[in-house]
């Protein structure tokens, strides 16, 4: 278990992402943040808090559960659905920023794009992740990346947030017994 990103680095990365989102979209008026549960939702809440502080008013923020659109449903036991909360202005004609903790194969994001299409037609869809670990299986890339962490396939990356895990940390696990 290696600590790849300690708490202060995580806070700085999230702050930088918040500024980048504002820069790219010229403010927060047209922006809707959608976190992918579980940890993407916490990350979205933190980015939203930063943006509210910077801009002086709250940004549209919600969650988007992608379970129903996953392509690996058949390979696992059934999953409980997580809440989807679409903020009042919806996604129609908005600049939607999808937010997740780790970008890996890209399949989660593909499912998220499908889930989003079910709800409406955003003007643009952007992607923010705390960690990009590589090994994409689909032509998907992130617009905002907290940290690029080159990994090998048998390693696993865990993002921990205070709300769920008691600490803020990104740890790399080398696969233990192997």
Provide the minimum distance between the beta carbon of 120 and another protein in the complex, in angstroms, as a whole number: 7
Q: Is 123 exposed, middle or buried (0-12, 13-18, 19+ CB in 10 A)?
A: exposed
Among 26, 53, 118, 148, binds another protein (CB under 8 A): 118
Q: Give, as ranges, the residues between 47 and 106 that touch another protein (CB under 8 A).
A: 65, 68-69, 73-84
Nearest to another protein of 62, 146 (CB atom): 62
Q: Give, as ranges, the residues between 132 and 171 that touch another protein (CB under 8 A).
A: none
Nearest to another protein of 28, 60 (CB atom): 60
Element (H, E) at 75: none
Nearest to another protein of 44, 131 (CB atom): 44
**Which has the closest alpha carbon to 122: 113, 132, 133?**
113
C-alpha 163/C-alpha 102 separation (Å) is: 17
Asked if residue 97 lies in contact with residue 33, where contact means CB atoms within 8 angstroms, the answer is yes
User: In this structure, what are the phi and psi dihedrals at residue 89, rounded to the nearest 5 degrees?
Assistant: -80, -5
When asked if residue 119 is in the footprint of another protein (CB under 8 A), the reply is: yes
Nearest to another protein of 117, 175 (CB atom): 117
> Where do contacts with another protein occur on this chain (CB under 8 A)?
65, 68-69, 73-84, 114, 117-120
């Amino acid at each position: 278990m290696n600590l790849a990103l300690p708490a202060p680095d995580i806070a700085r990365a999230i702050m930088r992402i918040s500024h980048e989102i504002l820069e790219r979209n010229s403010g927060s008026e047209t922006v809707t943040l959608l976190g992918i549960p579980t940890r993407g939702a916490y990350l979205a809440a933190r980015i939203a808090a930063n943006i509210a502080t910077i801009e002086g008013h709250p940004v549209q923020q919600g969650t988007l559960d992608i379970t129903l659109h996953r392509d690996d449903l058949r390979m696992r036991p059934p999953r409980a659905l997580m809440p989807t909360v679409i903020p009042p202005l919806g996604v129609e004609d908005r600049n939607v920023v999808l937010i997740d903790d780790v970008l890996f194969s890209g399949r989660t994001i593909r499912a998220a794009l499908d889930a989003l299409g079910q709800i409406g037609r955003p003007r643009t869809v952007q992607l923010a992740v705390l960690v990009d670990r590589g090994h994409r299986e689909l032509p998907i890339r992130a617009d905002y990346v907290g940290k690029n962490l080159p990994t090998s396939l048998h390693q696993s990356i865990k993002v921990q947030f205070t709300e769920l895990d008691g600490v803020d940390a990104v740890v790399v696990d080398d696969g233990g017994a192997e």
